[in-house]
Amino acid sequence: MGTDAMLLQRSLELRPSAVGYALGRELAQVAAPRVVLEVPGREVDVWAFAREGRCKASRHEGVHSQFGTTWRRRGELKDHQGTSWLDVEWEGHSLETVMATWELGYNRESANWIIADDMATARAFATALTDFSAMPPNALLVFSNGCWKRDRDSWAAVRAARKEDLILPDDFLEQLGADARHFLSSRATYREFGLPYKRGLLFVGPPGNGKTACLRVLLRDLALPTLVVRGFTSRYGEVEQNVATAFEKAKAAAPCVLVLEDLDVLVRGAALSALLNEIDGLGADTGILTLATSNHPELLDPALADRPSRFDRVYRFDAPAPRDRRRFLAHWNERMQPELRVDEAVVEDLVLRTDTFSFAFLQELVMSAMVRWVAEPGKRAMPELLRAELDSLVIQRRKGAEASPQRSEDEADECRRRLR
């Protein structure tokens, strides 16, 4: 279609409250007889849609389009799209998309318009585009400070997770995976027997014993849209509203996995009652698998921890037993360069001296010894370095225990009672 090169600039020069309407009206006039469909600006990302191979996009000739980059981290830039006009090829259809951004008070507003031959094509493209933008295939969605954001780094960690690196009791991971997969494949059965199609699994145990690693492996294997909640507090929004916003997104994305990280910290204060209301209010056919973690289950309110309708199963991640410490150290020993490996007697000595050590402390033991060996290759034997690092870690843990308040036996008993 013929394009007025100054159309975007004229519209953006209007008072902010008039920009959206004026631009939509002018686009409808210049696009005729084609149709124009407006889509909220924050819900679409045409350029990302094209980068993933879902369509082809190019800058519309004769109109200046804003594209730029920002620093993401060392050696890496992040592309961003501003006010722009694109030509799009999608599933045999030729379309155009217009995006405009402008300041309105203290906020930055944005809107998109899709130009197509007919409304059916415009709506079909809008559906594909918003589905992609709402649940991107190459990122987790993380809720923090009152809004959802893509987190590609967390997604990369999930994709890199390997079962082979997990040392858990026999059949633990298999039982957990079977539990989740059976739920996800049983929608018809749940519906037939009138069961609420939702499930909650709670991972509990001291830090460093595999909750996060196990969660990543499970998320990778399930390959479902994943939403992670890391906080319900925000600078301006109310906690109750943030809880509602998080669950609204999960319901829209279902079937999906909703991860609630560090539940004992997440649901303090006003967040508890709001969370209970949302979990209890989930419809009978939502298809949401909720996975929650807690380092301190004894701090969870009984209304959350003791009700099976909220979390149906509790999986414990305790400090590894001698057999699991042996498997873990042997696994790392096999992965090291030949000159860094130690014999079985050294492994066995480490197993005996690391009672109550978490997997995280065991890994730190191995890594710190490797770092010292690499700093001065061959100067000290690896068994000597491992034992020296072990002595340092024991002192470090002892000091940490002395600095932390000890929970009473009554609290420990209450914790065990809740988790029976």
Q: What is the pLDDT along the chain (420 residues), one digit of tens a residue?
A: 555 668 888 888 888 888 889 999 999 999 999 999 999 876 688 988 998 899 999 999 988 888 888 888 888 888 878 889 999 999 999 999 999 988 888 778 889 999 999 999 999 999 999 988 888 777 789 999 888 888 888 999 999 999 888 888 878 989 999 999 999 999 999 888 888 888 899 999 999 999 999 999 999 999 889 999 999 988 777 899 999 999 999 988 888 999 999 999 998 888 888 998 888 876 656 789 999 999 999 999 888 877 767 888 999 999 999 999 999 999 999 999 999 999 999 999 999 999 989 999 999 999 999 999 999 887 889 999 999 999 999 888 787 766 655 544 444 444 334 334
Classify strands 140-144 and 147-151 as parallel, antiparallel or unpaired: antiparallel
Q: State pTM to two decimals.
A: 0.81
Q: Where are the alpha helices (DSSP H) in 292-381?
A: 302-305, 322-335, 344-353, 359-375
Residue 40 C-alpha from the chain's centroid: 24
CB 119 within 8 A of CB 35: yes
Query: Tell me, what DSSP letter sits at residue 310?
Result: T
Q: Kindly write down the DSSP assignment for every residue of 102-133, as one continuous string.
A: EEETTEEEEEEEEEESSHHHHHHHHHHHHHHH
| Residues of the chain by 3-state class (helix, strand, coil), percent to 5 | 50, 20, 30
Residue with tokens 């710190």: 368
Look at strands 198-204 and 147-151 and give their pairing.
Answer: unpaired
Q: Which amino acid is at 332?
A: W
> Minimal CA–CA distance to 48: which of 166, 201, 150?
150
Which residues touch 72 (CB under 8 Å, ≥6 apart)?
A: 78
Q: In angstroms, rounded to a whole number, what is the distance separating the alpha carbons of residues 181 and 344?
A: 38
Structure tokens that stand for 111 in this block:
């809107």
CATH architecture of the domain covering 149-318:
3-Layer(aba) Sandwich (3.40)
Confidence at residue 403, expressed as pLDDT on a 0 to 100 scale: 61
| HSE of 181, CA atoms in CB hemisphere, 13 A | 11
Tell me, what's the pLDDT at 331?
A: 93
Q: Beta strand pairing status for 256-260 and 288-294?
A: parallel
User: What are the tokens at 334?
Assistant: 């096999």
CA distance 11 to 114: 17
Query: What distance in Å separates the CA atoms of residue 15 and residue 344, rounded to the nearest whole number?
Result: 76
The per-residue pLDDT for range 175-214, each reduced to its tens digit, is 999 999 999 999 999 888 888 888 899 999 999 999 999 9
- The per-residue pLDDT for range 214-229, each reduced to its tens digit, is 999 999 999 889 999 9
- Alpha-carbon distance of 126 to 299, in angstroms, equals 45
User: Which 3 state secondary structure label does DSSP give 271?
Assistant: helix
d(CA 150, CA 136): 8
pLDDT of residue 414: 44
Cα separation of 151 and 133, whole Å?
Answer: 13
User: Residue 127, class by beta-carbon neighbours within 10 Å (0-12 exposed, 13-18 middle, 19+ buried)?
Assistant: exposed
In sequence order, what are the beta bridge partners of 101?
Answer: 110
DSSP letter for 4, please: -
